[in-house]
Structure formats: structure tokens, C-alpha cells
Amino acid sequence: MQTLTTEIKKKCIRSLSAEELKDFFVASGEKAFRAKQVYEWLWKRSARSFENMSNLSKETRTLLENNFTINPVTISQKQVSNDGTIKFGFKLHDGYLVEGVLIPADDRMTACISSQVGCSLTCKFCATGYMDRKRNLEPYEIYDQVVLIKEAAEEHYQTPLTNIVLMGMGEPLLNYANVLKGIDKVTAEDGLHIASKRITLSTAGIAKMITKLGDDKVKFRLALSLHAANDEKRNTIMPINETNNLNVLKEALLYFYKMTGSAITFEYIVFDGVNDSVQDAKELYAFAKNIPCKINIIEYNPIQEADFINTSVDKLEQFKKVLTDKGIIVNIRRSRGKDIDAACGQLAIKEVK
């Protein structure tokens, strides 16, 4: 007689809360305090295997091995730019890849991380927008990207990670619950304990979820990927604007500020002949003037899929002057990692040749 065996799929241990972990140990006849030890290994010490948990007995580690997986994110490829920027291809447990970037600067060390495999928003200037969205990242996959980039900062530059931006692949607010749980693990005292104010979430503009961020009184920073301040123009660049127009977004941003006290950062890429005129700058001022904010003007980074080109230096300075003359705080952000497709808007999975 033939015996049929079914392999039981193990649960990822990092999907359990501290309380659920405690329940597991008690039900297994182990001491409840083991849960605290394991939780610390997972979230404070970033253990990638049960074997690493050296203060647990071999029996306890075997118990964990037989019941759970950790599903660590691994680095499948790494490229170093001429300017010191490092791009990572991160491999997930199911074989999918996402990208992240370490951006070194004199005054900060920034990790740019992803929130989804691919993206569903089809922004015309963004390489990720030309990919299909395969799935949302889990909280532990968001956490792992930070850990791996943090380790790279310490290894390559002997400098601790100072800032985190969710500006990689995907729209963070379409993975709301997992993103907030991932940020919680990064900021928690029993996690990586990185200050919330050093984290910025960038969104293409999902108004109802921006409102929810306000209701949840989040402590991290919010950036809006704007790129045009009239609806007709923004609709063509960012189709999400058709269902989240500028008036609706403005209301949501003002509500967010009222609930959190945190000023907004507007990100504005200047495309030659598209959104770089004096009139465009005046429209941007009209949109931003009543919202506590600063504006980051970002150099455009070309991608194969689109035919936008960067504006001229003269036009850029003229654009900036319109805003600064009216009292708006404006920073011009230069591209980093362009030679390895690691710059803003260039993230898409490509094999390194």
C-alpha cells in the first residue's frame, strides 16, 4: 500500500506577535520567557536563522526549526556607483526581487527601500511604473531591507544609517498595514530603534490613505510626489490624479498636518517643456502656499521607457526663484547613482551584466 505524505508548510515566525510567540512556547511545554528571547533575536538582533540564537538550547532551536521559517531577505546583486551610491537587488523567499539603495552624503546616510514587488500606478516617468505589481511586501521584508542597507553603510563607510526613505519600488499607501507594521519594527525600542522623524514615506497621492495617516497620528514624515500643480497636466504624467485630484489631495494634506503637526515635502521633477515654465512654478506656489511645506526640486533621470528629458540649468534656476521669492523653502536635489540606474525613478529589476 502506497503511503502519501504531505509536506506541512511552515509559518514565518516573524508574522507572529510577541503574545502569539508566548502562546506557542507555553503550548509546547516551554517556559514563557523563551518568547521574549526569540523576539529579541528576531527584531533587535536581526537573526537570519534559528541557529544564530546562541542562548537557546539545541532542543528549543530544533523546536523552532520544525515549526517555523524566518524567510530572510538576501542580497542577490550589488552595484556601486562612481559617486558611492550602492544599489541592491534583494531576493525574497518566493524568488521575487526588489531593489533598494544606500545613498551616502556628508551629513547623512540614507536607505531607500521598496514597499511592493512592482507597482500598479503607471506613472509615466518611473521605471517601476512600467512593471506589473506582483505582490505587497510583508513587514519583515521592509525591515530586512533596512537591516541589510544599515550593515552595508557600516561595512563600506563605517558610518551608521541615519535616514530611511520609502521611495523605492511600489506605492507604500497601497500596502498600508504592512508598511506601518514594518516601520514599527524599525522604530520600536525592542526593534532597530531608529527615530520616526528620520523616516519619510513618499506617496503618489492616495488621498483617503493620507487622511488615515493623520487619523493614526503617525510620527514619520510624509512626502508627496507631485510633479505638476494643475490637474490636466498631472493626469497625463500620473494617472492616479484622475481619481485623486489636487483639491482632494490638498484637503487630505491639510488634515494630515492638523493631526500630526508634521510639514509636508513636495517632490517635483522638472521635465523639459512639460512642467518647467514660470507658469508651472506659479501654479505650484498657488497649490503649496497654504500648506506647511518645503519643496524638493528633483533632477530627472532618464529611463528607456519614456522620452522625457531634464530641464536646463537656467530654467531650473528661474523656476526655483519664482518660489523662493514668494517665501517657499526650496531644495534642488541632484541625482545620485544614475550610472547604475539607482537614481530616483530608475528602479526596475535588471540583471547585472
pLDDT in tens, 229-239: 999 999 999 99
State whether the Cα torsion 236-238-244-250 is positive or negative: negative
64-116: pLDDT as tens digits: 999 999 999 999 999 998 889 999 999 999 999 999 999 999 899 999 999 99
Quote helix, strand, coil % in the chain, to nearest 5: 40, 20, 40
In this predicted structure, the answer to whether residue 345 has a pLDDT above a threshold of 50 is no
> What pLDDT was estimated at residue 130?
77
Verify whether residue 112 is a known catalytic residue: no
| Structure-model confidence comparison of residues 205 and 313, the more confident one | 205
**Cβ partners under 8 Å of residue 14, min gap 6:** 42, 43, 70, 71, 138, 139, 140
Distance of alpha carbon 124 from alpha carbon 238, whole angstroms: 6
CB atoms within 10 A of CB 243: 11
Question: Would you kindly state where each structural domain of the chain is located, as residue ranges?
Answer: 11-69, 74-340
Q: What percent of the chain has pLDDT over 70?
A: 92
> Which residues make Cβ contacts (< 8 Å) with residue 116, sequence separation at least 6?
98, 133, 134, 135, 136, 137, 169, 170, 171, 174, 175
Instruction: Report CA dihedral (177, 181, 184, 185) to the nearest 10 degrees.
Output: -160
Helix (H, G, I), strand (E, B) or coil at 97: strand
C-alpha to C-alpha distance for 179 and 139, rounded to whole angstroms: 6
Q: List the grid coordinates of 133.
A: 505589481
In the predicted structure, residue 15 carries a pLDDT above the cut 80 = yes
For residue 158, give the amino acid letter.
Answer: Q
Using one digit for the tens of pLDDT, what is the confidence trace for 260-307? 999 999 999 999 889 999 999 999 999 999 999 999 998 887 777 777
**pLDDT averaged over the chain?**
91
> Please, are residues 205 and 231 in contact by the beta-carbon 8 Å criterion?
no
* pLDDT at residue 338 in the model: 61
Q: Which of 99, 141, 171, 267 is catalytic?
A: 99
pLDDT band at 9 (very low <50, low <70, confident <90, very high): confident
The answer to whether 76 touches 54, Cβ cutoff 8 Å, is: no
245-269 pLDDT per residue, tens: 999 999 999 999 999 999 999 999 9
The catalytic position among 20, 119, 344, 351 is 344
CATH tag, 11-69: 1.10.150.530
Question: What homologous superfamily does CATH list for 74-340?
Answer: Aldolase class I (3.20.20.70)
In this structure, the number of other CB atoms found within 10 A of the CB of residue 193 comes to: 10
Q: Residue 343 contacts by C-beta under 8 Å, 6 or more apart in sequence?
A: 301, 335, 336, 337
Q: Which residue has the cell 536635489?
A: 333
Residue type, 58: K
pLDDT for the residue numbered 337: 56
pLDDT at 57 over 80: yes
Among residues 169, 155, 228, 230, the alpha carbon closest in space to that of 202 is found at 169
DSSP-derived 3-state class of residue 265: strand
pLDDT tens-digit readout, 326-341: 999 999 987 665 665 5
DSSP state at residue 348: -
Let me know if 99 is a catalytic residue.
yes
Banded pLDDT at 131 (limits 50, 70, 90): confident
Q: Which long-range contacts (CB under 8 A, 24 or more apart) does 63-67 make?
A: 63/28, 63/30, 64/13, 64/38, 67/10, 67/11, 67/24
| In the predicted structure, residue 16 carries a pLDDT above the cut 80 | yes
The C-alpha cell of 285 is what?
506656489
Q: Which residues pair with 176 in a beta bridge?
A: none
Please report the pLDDT score of residue 4 as a whole number: 42
- Percent of the chain surpassing pLDDT 90: 80
What 3-state DSSP class applies to 166?
strand
Return the minimum-mean-pLDDT range out of 32-41, 207-216, 220-229, 332-341. 332-341
